[in-house]
Amino acid sequence: MHDALFWFCASIAVGGALLAMLRREPLKCALSLIASFVALAGLYFLLKSPFPAVLQILLYAGAIMVLIVFVIMFLNDESGAPGKGDISRGGLVLAVLILVPLGWILIRAIWNADLPMMPAAPEDFGTVPAMGEKLFTTWLYPFEVLSLLLLAAMAGAVLLAKKRLD
């Protein structure tokens, strides 16, 4: 049962991510990405961490993707989608040159990785109190830095939008 659920969620997650890259229509890409995110949340549930799972749906599949879908629908511009002959030969060569060694390293690393048996997760693993405590004690510094970064990004976005309006 557990394995079947894992393969179900995993195939949707990977398939959705692939479709998000391969589809030509922007909206369909966005929707495939949503499917992938929701399937990822399912994987978190299988790993007994409901809090990250719910946040994955709430923030990624819900809030962020709604904005992306909103923008795509608002512009509703199909002309910007890449056609068949849009990829130049030089770009293709460059992509292969960069990606093949990287992919080779990645595959080798996974192949040779020595994966130890992990100890069983504690009882409160992935719950709100446990995650909150970790976030506000052990990881407080990165957490604060990240919030500052997000704030800066938000201020920058407002500034750019305002400039165009003026």
**Shortest approach of another protein to residue 73 CB, angstroms?**
5
C-alpha 106/C-alpha 22 separation (Å) is 22
**Shortest approach of another protein to residue 151 CB, angstroms?**
15
**Shortest approach of another protein to residue 36 CB, angstroms?**
14
Candidate list 76, 79, 88, 112; residue touching another protein; CB under 8 A: 76
**Shortest approach of another protein to residue 4 CB, angstroms?**
19
Does residue 19 bind another protein (CB under 8 A)?
no
Does residue 63 bind another protein (CB under 8 A)?
yes
107 sits in the region (left: phi over 0; alpha: psi -120 to 50; else beta) called alpha
Candidate list 7, 70, 104, 143; residue touching another protein; CB under 8 A: 70
Stretch that binds another protein, among 13-21, 56-64, 112-120, 139-147 (CB under 8 A): 56-64
Shorter beta-carbon distance to another protein: residue 47 or 57: 57
Does residue 111 bind another protein (CB under 8 A)?
no
Sign of CA dihedral 6, 135, 57, 23: negative
Give yes or no for a contact between 29 and 23, defined as CB atoms under 8 angstroms apart.
yes
How many angstroms separate the Cα of 14 from the Cα of each of 18, 19, 32, 54, 141? 6, 9, 10, 19, 33
C-alpha 79/C-alpha 56 separation (Å) is 32
**CA 41, chain centre distance (Å):** 11
Does residue 128 bind another protein (CB under 8 A)?
yes
